[in-house]
Amino acid sequence: IRDYCPVPPRGSMRDYCPVPLRRSAARTVRFPNDVLFQDHIKQGDLEQVGRFIRARKVTLDTIYPSGMAALHEAVLTGNLDCVKLLVKYGADIHQRDENGWTPLHMACSDGYADIARYLLSLGASLEATTDDGEKPSDLIDPEYEELAQLLGGTALR
């Protein structure tokens, strides 16, 4: 009975448990802070993103194994509030990923006009080029008319 269901030293049969008890794991899986931080960004969990930054558990300029920094990850989610939060805490709007893309390149490529507008209002460069020589305007898909207008008609040439 002890292996099946623990019985107190002075226990009786009424303490018998017909269903085996689960034993708790001796070990737990712990993920590095940067992995957890990226996950919070991708999920748009602004409260946790802010906590990680305020607790100095992460640095915003780190290039993650994905090849991108936190701000790039936030832009790819399309979450303007997350982008604003990261910028508020010092994320560099000019930082390049491993392919030379700035956050503005990503916003233009993925059609996030609101994020592109915000980055431009902070001074993001329209002239920044990727490692392949592409400017943000070169990456705008024709269906993203608002972005094309925002960038002054320089797109879609």
Between the two ends of the chain, the Cα-to-Cα distance in Å is 79
Q: What's the mean pLDDT in 31-35?
A: 81
Question: Would residue 54 count as lying in a domain?
Answer: yes
| Range of the structural domain that residue 76 is part of | 31-150
Question: Would residue 155 count as lying in a domain?
Answer: no
Question: Would residue 15 count as lying in a domain?
Answer: no
Question: Would residue 121 count as lying in a domain?
Answer: yes
Q: Who wins on pLDDT, 33 or 95? A: 95
CATH number at residue 102: 1.25.40.20
Q: Who wins on pLDDT, 131 or 59? A: 131
Question: Would residue 49 count as lying in a domain?
Answer: yes
Q: What is the band of 134 on the pLDDT scale with cuts at 50, 70, 90?
A: very high
Question: Would residue 112 count as lying in a domain?
Answer: yes
Q: Give the integer Cα–Cα distance in Å for 152 and 154.
A: 5
Does residue 23 surpass a pLDDT of 80? Answer: no
The tally of domains found in the chain comes to 1
Question: Would residue 23 count as lying in a domain?
Answer: no
Q: What's the mean pLDDT in 122-131?
A: 96
